[in-house]
Structure formats: C-alpha cells, structure tokens
Amino acid sequence: MNTHNCKDCPFKSSAEKVLHDDEFMVLEENSALVTFKKGDLIFKEGALSTNVAFLRTGIVKIHKQGPTKEKILRIVKAPSYFGIPTTFGNKINQYSATSIEDTTVCFIDSTLFRNFILENGKFAYEVIVELCQNELQDYERYANQSQKQIPGIVAERLICMSDTIFKSPRFIFPLTQGELADLVGTSRESVSRVLSDFSNSKIIEFKGKEITILKRDSLEQISQKG
C-alpha cells in the first residue's frame, strides 16, 4: 500500500467526513491510491471483489455484459464510491468499471469498510443515503428511457453530462459514439444519425471531440417529448 494521508485528503466522501482520527489512521493503512489512464479497466465483472472503490478524481463508466453486447449502466464522476453494491451485494463483481478519463481511485479494504459501517453509525447512514440517491436516479432513468425514443434519450444524456458532470455547455465528449449507444441502449449508427441531426439543426456543435450545446431549449424539448 502506498503511503498517503486520508485525513487531509481534499476529496473525501460525505461518509468519510464523519470518520474519527483513529479511524483515519486505520484507513490510511488499509487503502491504496491508484492512478488510471483513460481506457484502463479498474475492476472486472466476474472477478472477486475485495475492495470498495472510491473515485477521487476523474470519470468512470460502470458496465456489464448484456445478452448481445456491453451495456453501460452509469457514468460516475468524482467524488463518489462506485463499487459498493458489487462488494456488499455479491462476492463476485456483477459489473466492470473502466476509466473514461484519467482518474485516481482509492481502494478501501472491504472488511475495514464493513467495520466502519458496524462501528460508526454516521458513516453507515451516509453510505445508505448515497446508495438511496443512486437508486432513485437509476429509477428515474429507467422510467424515462423505456418510454422515450432514441433522440429523446440522447438529448437527455447530453443535458445530463453538461449539467451534472461537466457543469458547462461546452465539454470534451468522453465517450465514443459506440459507447454512447451502449449507454442509451441503441445502435452505434442510430447515435451517429441523431447527433448529425442535432448538429445540422444547430442544436449542438462539434469540433472534434468538443461538443457545445447551442440550443438547450430545443434539446430539452426533444428530451421531454420522447
């Protein structure tokens, strides 16, 4: 394990913020800080899960093999845990995580994490709140996506990326079109066509991988109509 200072880490999770000094000391001894490059696999579906992963910086995709191809389940931006369900719901990873931008990840021994839950109620509570919020977010998306058509879902995703991940109408699009297809549940070609449409109607603009949302209103309309 590399030596690092958890207590003064500027990227603490809301759960970690309630840890006591002695707990930080144990944490430092039982966690490892690792750097990943864009495209690197962080953990793999099917492998044994012995660590909880905390995304300190960067962006990660959570994905899983579906019946015909890969399905991207969620995009996680720092700071956030991203391996809790797969660690405590099943011994074997039920999904993979891959870095889609350079990231730093803190791996926390799952026995230690479990002890924090058992011994620090506030820590447990914060973990529960995070799990609950994620689940609500997922539900919202399921409900939307199963009833919208492709342009609507793509529009929703673009807005979501702009708002919650990059917090700017202009950003470097972190996925290939194929990945975006795996995320929204469609084909690569359909994504390409939808993006071309948006681009032709000046709703968005592409400069290489940089995307700018020009008409947010139109995007929102398309997203809502379905």
Partner DNA sequence: TTTCTTGTGTGATATTCATCACACTTTCAT
Partner DNA sequence: ATGAAAGTGTGATGAATATCACACAAGAAA
Structural element, H or E, at residue 27: helix 21-29
Q: Write down the least CB distance from residue 121 to DNA, Å.
A: 44
Window contacting a copy of itself (CB under 8 A); options: 7-15, 26-34, 144-152, 198-206: 144-152
117 binds a copy of itself (CB under 8 A): yes
| Binding site partner of 14, from DNA, a copy of itself, none, Cβ cut-off 5-8 A by kind | none
Contact 6, 13 (CB under 8 A): no
189 binds a copy of itself (CB under 8 A): no
Q: Write down the least CB distance from residue 115 to DNA, Å.
A: 41
- Of the pair 57, 177, the CB lying nearest DNA is at 177
Rounded Cα gap, residues 79 and 100, in angstroms: 15
> Which residue stretches of 104-207 are H helix?
110-119, 121-145, 150-160, 177-184, 188-200
| Binding site partner of 208, from a copy of itself, DNA, none, Cβ cut-off 5-8 A by kind | DNA
Rounded Cα gap, residues 180 and 203, in angstroms: 18
Rg (CA), the chain: 19
- Candidate residues 2, 3, 5, 68; the one interacting with a copy of itself per rule CB under 8 A: 68
Give me 226's structure tokens.
């379905």
Contact 21, 8 (CB under 8 A): no
Number of residues that bind a copy of itself (CB under 8 A): 50
Q: Which residues bind DNA (CB under 7 A)?
A: 68, 149-151, 176-178, 185-190, 192-193, 195-196, 206, 208-209
Nearest to 59 by CA among 40, 44, 45, 46: 40
Residues in touch with a copy of itself (CB under 8 A): 64-69, 71, 73, 84-90, 94-95, 114, 117-122, 124-125, 127-129, 131-136, 138-140, 142-148, 152, 185, 224-226
